[in-house]
Chain A
Amino acid sequence: MFEYFNPYRIFKINSILQKIIFFCFILVLSIGLVEALFLSPEDYLQKDSVRIMYVHVPAAWISLGIFSTIAFLSISVFIFKNKNLILISKSLAPSGILFTLIALVTGSIWGKPTWGTWWAWDARITSMLVLLILYALYLLSFRIFKDQVRSNKISSMIAIFGAINIPVIKFSVDWWNTLHQPASISLTEKSAIHSSMLVPLVIMTAAFALFSVLIFLMKYNTELIKIKNKGLKRL
């Protein structure tokens, strides 16, 4: 199975994929922005401020998705002892932290006209802030600990223990009384959002996902070249 995670194989595919992903990202983002800012209708209650949803919600979804992936890969690192999985996790984290920051900042901007405040220590917002701190700790662990074995172990532990926060974020709106409304979109039930708003939301989510893939590919190649640079000195 791990032959598919061979660094040379991934590097070769990356080099070809990057240009295609970049082109797709620009195309999908342009369509998404036109849909989100101009073509989608305003909400009957929130009026035009609802458009912030098209950047806030995809950013939150993808930041959660990336952290879940990092946690899963970190568990796999302990089981399979495959160092390349660390490299993949490390390359996913930069876009994850950016999307968490975007979700928090755009949520704050959305909160002012909707709730009348920029910030509240609401369960969902606080758990998202915890996620941002976890991402920062995860990335910092690679910089603080110079010993590679130690930094790999500590970063994996942060991701695995941090994964407890994922269901807290997801179910915070059901477990506690929060300013956030319960989930409007579910994989198992019919969406509570009208298709005129769902379509731009899906397009923007696709654009954000493409961006995270693009950053992942670039970061993976950077990290691999860094390792091979050390390898050249050891020849």
Chain B
Amino acid sequence: MISDLILMNGYGLYVWSAFAFTLLGFLSLYVIISLQLKKEQKRFEENFSALTDEKYNVAINQEIYKEILKYSGSKI
């Protein structure tokens, strides 16, 4: 029963490799984009922390900056 599902009448190697390639492609792209996103979030937090008090007060009042910090889960 299980061997029938794996072998698929001799086409198993083709079918499983096509599905494996697709899922590996999905996983790879997801990991790459996640890492890029994390890297940018980290850089944003570092730049935000390095702001002078005057610049910080300007930045913190802008909706988009607040939203990015919230999205990054930042404690700033």
Q: Which residues of A contact B (CB under 8 A)?
A: 7-8, 11-12, 15, 33, 36-38, 42, 47-49, 51-52, 55-56, 59, 94-95, 98, 101-102, 105-106, 109-110, 112-113, 211, 214-215, 218-219, 221-222, 224-226, 228-229, 232-233, 235
Contact = CB atoms under 8 A, between A and B. Distances in A.
B71 A221 contact: yes
Contact of B64 (A8, A102, A105, A112): A8
8 contacts: A12-B67, A37-B19, A42-B9, A51-B8, A106-B18, A106-B21, A109-B14, A219-B36
Contacts of A101: 25
A214 B37 CA distance: 13
A221 B37 contact: yes
Contacts, number: 110
B64 A94 contact: no
A3 B55 CA distance: 27
Contact of B63 (A8, A225, A229): A8
Interface in B1-52: 5, 8-9, 11-12, 14-15, 17-19, 21-22, 25-26, 29-30, 32-34, 36-37, 40-41, 43-44, 47-48, 51
Contacts of A233: 47
A218 B41 CA distance: 12
Contact of B8 (A48, A94, A225): A48
Q: Which 10 pairs show the lowest CB-CB distances between chains A and B?
A: A48-B8, A48-B11, A225-B40, A106-B18, A49-B11, A55-B22, A52-B18, A222-B37, A232-B47, A235-B55
Contacts of B48: 232
Contacts of B68: 11, 224-225, 228
B44 A228 contact: yes
Contacts of B67: 8, 11-12, 15
Nearest to B36: A222
Contact of A218 (B21, B33, B51, B63): B33
B58 interface: yes
A32 B67 CA distance: 35
A48 B9 contact: yes
Given A33-B19, A55-B22, A218-B34, 8 more contacts: A15-B71, A51-B19, A98-B26, A215-B29, A225-B68, A228-B65, A233-B47, A235-B51
A102 B68 CA distance: 33
Contacts of A228: 44, 64-65, 68
A37 B15 contact: yes
Contacts of A47: 8-9, 11
Contact of B33 (A38, A110, A219): A219
Nearest to B32: A94
B4 to A, nearest CB: 10
